[in-house]
Amino acid sequence: MAWVFLVLAGFAEVGGVISLKLSEGFRKRKPTVASVLFGGASFYLLALSLQTLPIGTAYAVWTGIGSVGSVAVGMIFFRESKHWIRILFISFVLIGIVGLRFVSEGH
């Protein structure tokens, strides 16, 4: 169950970052509230996963999901660069996340 919590925490982190972008520096109320709710959910779910998973693994996977997800959303919805080298390097992060899952204790 810890891995489920961790993946959900990573997705909530992506939701929080997207909401921050949409809040335009906390000037828009709904995205600002959403960023606080997503952020809270992300930390709560991360805390649940840390009851079982090693802190280094959990933190790396959580930030990795947040990074990969944020880059993907940026490319798809915010017209950010889709340069092949950018995709290559974000793929390395994704490979690291998957690798940590398989070499982690408690999987």
pTM (2 decimals)?
0.89
Determine the pLDDT at residue 24: 97
Average pLDDT over residues 25-50: 98
Q: Which residue type occupies 6?
A: L
Q: What's the average model confidence in pLDDT over 44-67?
A: 96
10 Å CB burial of residue 46 (0-12, 13-18, 19+) is buried
Q: Where are the alpha helices (DSSP H) in the chain?
A: 2-22, 29-49, 55-77, 84-103
- The residue among 53, 46, 57 whose CA lies nearest residue 9 is 46
User: Does the structure show a pLDDT above 90 at 106?
Assistant: no
- Per-residue model confidence as pLDDT tens digits over 1-26: 999 999 999 999 999 999 999 999 99
Length of the chain: 107
Contact 19, 31 (CB under 8 A): yes
Tokens standing for 26? 């906390």
